[in-house]
Amino acid sequence: MPSWIQVSEMTDPLLCLKDFAVSFRTPNGDVQAVRGVDISVAAGEMVGIVGESGSGKSVTFLGVLGLLPKSARITGSATVEGLELVGASNRTMRTVRGKKIAMIFQDPLSALNPVYRVGYQVAEMIQAHQQVSKSEALTRSVELLDIVGIPQPKVRARQYPHEFSGGMRQRVMIAMAIANDPEVLIADEPTTALDVTVQAQILEVVQRIQREMNKAVVMITHDLGVIARVADRVQVMYAGRVVERASVNDLFAAPTHPYTVGLLNSLPRVGQERLQPIPGRPPNMLRPPQGCAFRARCPHAAPVCAEKLPELQPHANSMTACVRINEIDVAEMSGITA
């Protein structure tokens, strides 16, 4: 590892979201995409954010980085190393993006500029934040390409994005993300566009970087298999809220929220005659339902669920946002433990 990359040793939460909310103004009214989430991420840990399309998992972190369109209204608080990002000036945000928090996107082809050499694009990232000469930046970009496992980095740095395969492009994205040694890496569905054999390689690179450089990584995905492989702690999102927070082992061994149980039960399992999907569909976020957003699809819903928005509360080893958690037997409905 080159000397200019510092291994941070902090263990306090680096990134801290409190009551973070995002809504979009539309002609039909406000879409409440994220409705108050608390998430904290510490150095050296991989936090998995899992949820289905429309659950608000990507919007949350795009909002943190100030990458949402003007129609977005962000409230609550998001701090990185104590620095408040909600309402921060563009100037401040420019020092945060890439330097303190970097993001890896789902589709590397649209994130790379087709008319510039790959090495130049990585070097550009370095020069945006550091006072180094062009040749120094280019030398570093070759080192970065080597770190993320690109063979013949010197040759590859002089090539264009179209000469790279999907997996190699995603490695370039990772190289750009770690170019300025940020504290926090946000990976938004980094393997969704890739084939499984390539996905395995990319997950390995992200994990190696997280461990060797002691980075905090937020892994946003809809794939519970990816979560099971790499995450330390998991936040399950549904309709713009975190409905369950647990260590990865607890989440899979003893899920507590009915939605988590439903999600795990939807996966095909060996020896299963019928699949068990969750009935119904997610609510319309223009008019989210009163109380628990999952109640219309929940087998345990009762009148009490409509009263107020459930907050996360401790249950067993997890935190779960279900008001009926002490009355229902979640283990019974999950065919998993049986």
Binding site for another protein (CB under 8 A): 52-53, 165-168, 195-201, 203-204, 207, 222-229, 248-249, 252, 262-264, 266-268, 270-279, 281
Parallel/antiparallel/unpaired status of strands 13-26 and 101-104: unpaired
| CA–CA dist 307, 127 (Å, integer) | 53
Residue 295 phi/psi, 5-degree rounding, is -60, -30
Please list, in sequence order, all residues whose beta carbon lies within 8 angstroms of the beta carbon of residue 233, skipping any fewer than 6 positions away: 45, 46, 47, 48, 245, 246, 247, 248
The span from the CA of 217 to the CA of 214, in Å, is: 9
Query: 54 or 119, CB closer to another protein?
Result: 54
Of the pair 100, 257, the CB lying nearest another protein is at: 257
Closer residue to another protein in complex, CB, 82/270: 270
Q: Reduce the DSSP state of residue 179 to 3 states and report it.
A: coil
Cα distance between residue 324 and residue 322, in whole Å: 5
Please tell me the total number of residues recorded for the chain in this structure. Answer: 338
Q: How far is Cα 36 from Cα 63, in angstroms, rounded to an integer?
A: 13
Nearest distance from C-beta of residue 207 to another protein, angstroms: 8
In angstroms, what is the minimal distance from the CB of 100 to another protein? 29
**Minimum distance from CB of 116 to another protein (Å)?**
21
Q: Least distance from C-beta 240 to another protein, angstroms?
A: 16
Q: Min. distance of Cβ 152 from another protein in angstroms?
A: 12
Cβ-based nearer residue to another protein, 88 or 301: 301
Residue closer to another protein (CB basis): 165 or 313: 165
Sign for the CA dihedral angle at 170, 173, 179, 181 comes to negative
Q: Alpha-carbon distance 269 to 335, whole Å?
A: 10
- Phi-psi label, residue 56: left if phi above 0, alpha if psi -120 to 50, beta otherwise: left
Smallest gap from residue 323 Cβ to another protein (A): 21
Least separation in angstroms between CB 237 and another protein: 13
Task: Give 28 or 135: the residue with its C-beta nearer to another protein.
Answer: 28
- Alpha carbon separation from 1 to 4, 16, 145, 228 (Å, rounded): 9, 29, 12, 28
**Cα torsion for 264, 318, 61, 166, to the nearest 10°?**
-40
Residue number with CB closer to another protein (10 or 316): 316
- Give the shortest CB-261-to-another protein separation in angstroms: 11
Task: State which residue, 95 or 201, has the beta carbon closest to another protein.
Answer: 201
